[in-house]
Amino acid sequence: MASQSSTMRAQVLEKFNTPYVLKSIPRPPNPTGKDILVQVQAASYCHTDAVFASGAMWQDLPRVGSHEFASVIVEVGPDVSPSLKLEVGTPVGIPSRAFPSCGVCDECGNNDGDPESYGVYCTKAGNLGLSRDGGFQEYCIVDSRQVAPIPHGMTAVDTAPLMCAGLTIWNALGQAKVKLEAGGGQGLRIAISGAGGGLGHLGVQFAVKLGCDVIAIDTGEKALYLLKEIVRDLGPLGSKVTIVDAKSQAAEDVRWAVCGKPEEPALEGEKGVNGVLILPESQQALEYGVKLLRNHGTCVMVSFPKEGFHIQPRDLVFRHISMVGVLVGRNRQLRAMLNFAAQEGVRAKTTTYSLEQLNELVDDYHKGASGKLVVDMSK
């Protein structure tokens, strides 16, 4: 490939709790092995970027953030498998994990159908944007086995927020026993706590389009407004969503209003939602969500507050409620999620910024801007 310039623009975090610094840094070298070189087109900001920038995760700086981005392949490494159908010019979405994966551990060997010797859950895995430089730069080296080709009709800005937020919430629905294919949620009722946030508003769309009935829970004007917009955009399917303001509506009232209250108190365990996804880092959100579950229901934790959650083992013992967690997902799940989003019209509500405006984006994030905030490299 003819290299136009040996340097590129990048937003670099040099010290924790300080703004990113726009710099000119060397362009990545030609890709080796199974790696590919991509030109970034859009890069989305995730809550984890904020956590990293506070110094609460990896300690190695300087770092280029963003672990959910979209790009076009510029150069393909010599050992990239032709079966992946990745060529120069192919548009691809890129998640954080795993770069690199070790290729020899049990996770890399037994990877549930992902590309050979590649483990998203490799215990030695690094993460783009966290332990390696990510998407807030013009070019990036990534692993050919971690990416997903962008389906026709999806833009880079559409794709980027799905690479962490979209994949995580898609798999959270799977953990709540929704079958992840068209109609797979038929007959299931799912509650999403924090439904008006970045992950939540994608979760509402995925759940409804998979066939679920949804209780979309949040608090605050911005989040509830975003939910109303999502319901409006869903058209007739919007009737499958019940928006709940957790500040003014008690969990018990919501449960009986939506699921029906049985005449005999002994039968109450039969009525409730099948699964609840907990997105806020809040004990109240967890307790509220668990109260909505029917017996044998599943509570899926996506957030992981530093101080932890207090749980009631009696919910697990007497109501047979399961509690599980979710961390992004495998490559085959990433591809399935992206194809489903393209076909069914699942899109994040985005606000876009130029690469130069990244610190403005971060300020807006901390002020509670709704939807997903995305750097659009074409701006």
Nearer CB in complex with Zn ion: 121/340: 121
**Shortest distance (Å) from residue 264 CB to Zn ion:** 45
Tell me the number of residues near Zn ion by CB under 5 A.
Answer: 9
Q: Does 48 participate in binding Zn ion (rule CB under 5 A)?
A: yes
Check if the beta carbon of residue 68 is closer than 8 Å to that of residue 165: yes
Kindly give the residue spans of alpha helices, DSSP state H, lying in the chain: 47-53, 106-109, 156-159, 165-175, 198-209, 221-233, 251-259, 283-292, 313-318, 331-344, 358-366
Shortest distance (Å) from residue 124 CB to Zn ion: 5
Nearer to Zn ion, 108 or 230 (CB): 108
Length of the chain counted residue by residue: 379
Looking up tokens 């999403």 gives: 192
Name the residue nearer to Zn ion (CB basis): 122 or 234. Answer: 122
Among 8, 37, 46, 210, binds Zn ion (CB under 5 A): 46
User: Which residue, 46 or 362, is less far from Zn ion as judged by CB?
Assistant: 46
Q: Verify binding: residue 273, Zn ion, rule CB under 5 A.
A: no
CB nearer Zn ion, residue 119 or residue 272: 119
Q: 232 or 306: whose CB is closer to Zn ion?
A: 306
Q: How far apart are CA 200 and CA 193, in angstroms?
A: 8
Residue 82, CB half-sphere, CA atoms under 13 Å: how many? 0
Residue 105 Cβ vs Zn ion, minimum distance, rounded to whole Å: 3
Minimum Å distance from CB 171 to Zn ion? 13
What is the bridge-based pairing of β-strands 139-143 and 35-44? antiparallel
Nearest to 174 by CA among 305, 332, 289: 332
Interactions with Zn ion, residue window 70-109 (CB under 5 A): 101-102, 105, 108
Q: Which of 40, 53, 122, 285 binds Zn ion (CB under 5 A)?
A: 122
Nearer to Zn ion, 169 or 292 (CB): 169
Question: Are the beta carbons of 284 and 194 closer than 8 angstroms?
Answer: no
CB of 302 to Zn ion, least distance (A): 10
> DSSP secondary-structure letter at 164?
T
- C-alpha span between 282 and 240 (Å, rounded): 26
Interacting span for Zn ion (CB under 5 A) from 122-130, 243-251, 271-279, 283-291: 122-130
Hey, which residues between 152 and 181 contact Zn ion (CB under 5 A)?
164
> How many Å separate Cα 13 from the centre of its chain?
22
Residues that bind Zn ion (CB under 5 A): 46, 48, 101-102, 105, 108, 119, 122, 164
